[in-house]
Amino acid sequence: MIKVIIERHIADELGEHYEKTARATLQKAMQAHGFISGEALKDFNDPNHRIVIANYRTIHDWQHWLGSSERKEMMEQIRPMLDREEKFTILEH
């Protein structure tokens, strides 16, 4: 199993819109092959800093989701709300 930490920093005043779109993205990710679990968190000290922690069976499962058309479509909606690029950290046990 691997953990993928996705860090996003959203632009001011877009929190509510981001939350709606991020929830839809997580719901689609939950259907991806190898997805185990996930959670979306907000940085206590910086409400525009958002973190998604997702567990996948293998790195290949994550890479498949990362390159999927479903994720690309969702990111087309999320990307304009970000004020910097997403950051990924992949952890293994």
Classified by CATH at the fold level, domain 2-92 comes out as: Alpha-Beta Plaits (3.30.70)
Average pLDDT estimate for 11-23: 89
Average pLDDT estimate for 21-30: 89
Q: What is the pLDDT of residues 31-88, one digit of tens each?
A: 999 999 999 999 999 999 999 999 999 999 999 999 999 999 999 999 999 999 999 9
DSSP the chain: -EEEEEEEEBPTT-HHHHHHHHHHHHHHHTTSTTEEEEEEEE-SS-TTEEEEEEEES-HHHHHHHHT-HHHHHHHHHHGGGBSS--EEEEEE-
Residue 11: what pLDDT? 94
Amino acid identity of residue 88, one-letter, is F
pTM here is: 0.90
6: pLDDT strictly greater than 90? yes
Cα–Cα distances in angstroms (integers) from residue 83 to residues 10, 13, 46, 64, in the given order = 6, 12, 14, 26
